[in-house]
């Protein structure tokens, strides 16, 4: 296994442990060894934005990683987190939803989306969410057919 790959794996471990300083250092070493690897690019961009405060660089690297491998949901998760670090909730929701199109079973993307308070459409779309009919039907369906509103695996 290459030194860059080892650094990358260590960086992911540090990220799971929420040790952003060590994750940033590991991802930086991996990325500097192979600047064209989209995985290294995406995770380094995430850490640069979240820990280093360099939102512009984070956006650029995460977006470039997606352009190389658009089908990897974890890259959308990273880009969405960069948007969140920038305070752009709408952008993050849009990116998370796009990532779910490529990997509908991705728990992390789904958790990130619901954590932002994303709600599904009202039962009757042309009525306001606060309309008593929509509220009643939403509660009724949620209680009688709970699986109707849960995500499909």
The CATH code of the domain that includes 29 is: 1.25.40.10
Same domain membership, residue 105 and residue 40: yes
For residue 44, the SS3 value is helix
Report helix angle 20-33 to 38-50, nearest 10.
Answer: 140
By CB atoms closer than 10 A (0-12, 13-18, 19+), residue 144 is exposed
For residue 81, the SS3 value is helix
pLDDT band at 33 (very low <50, low <70, confident <90, very high): very high
pTM of the model: 0.77
pLDDT mean over 45-55: 92
The span from the CA of 31 to the CA of 2, in Å, is 12
pLDDT by residue (tens digit) across 69-113?
Answer: 999 999 999 999 999 999 999 999 999 999 999 998 888 998 898
What range does the domain containing 148 cover? Answer: 119-153
- Cα-Cα-Cα-Cα torsion 19, 67, 116, 118, nearest 10 degrees, comes to -160
* pLDDT tops 90 at residue 147: no
Residues 71 and 51 sit within 8 Å (Cβ to Cβ): no
Same domain membership, residue 112 and residue 123: no
pLDDT mean over 54-60: 95
Same domain membership, residue 50 and residue 14: yes
Instruction: Give the chain's mean pLDDT.
Output: 89
Same domain membership, residue 107 and residue 125: no
Same domain membership, residue 51 and residue 123: no
**Number of domains comprising the chain:** 2
pLDDT mean over 143-147: 71
């Amino acid at each position: 296994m290459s030194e860059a790959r080892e650094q990358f794996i260590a960086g992911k471990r540090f990220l799971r442990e929420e040790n952003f300083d060590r994750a940033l250092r590991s991802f930086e070493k991996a990325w500097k060894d192979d600047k064209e690897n989209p995985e290294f690019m995406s995770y380094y961009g995430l850490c640069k934005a979240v820990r280093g405060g360099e939102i512009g660089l984070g956006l650029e690297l995460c977006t470039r990683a997606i352009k190389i491998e658009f089908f990897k949901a974890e890259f959308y998760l990273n880009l969405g987190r960069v948007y969140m670090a920038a305070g752009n909730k709408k952008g993050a929701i849009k990116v998370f939803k796009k990532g779910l199109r490529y990997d509908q079973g991705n728990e992390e993307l789904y958790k990130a989306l619901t954590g932002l308070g994303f709600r599904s459409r009202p039962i009757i779309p042309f009525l306001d969410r606060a309309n008593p009919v929509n509220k009643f039907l939403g509660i009724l369906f949620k209680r009688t057919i709970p699986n109707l509103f849960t995500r499909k695996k």
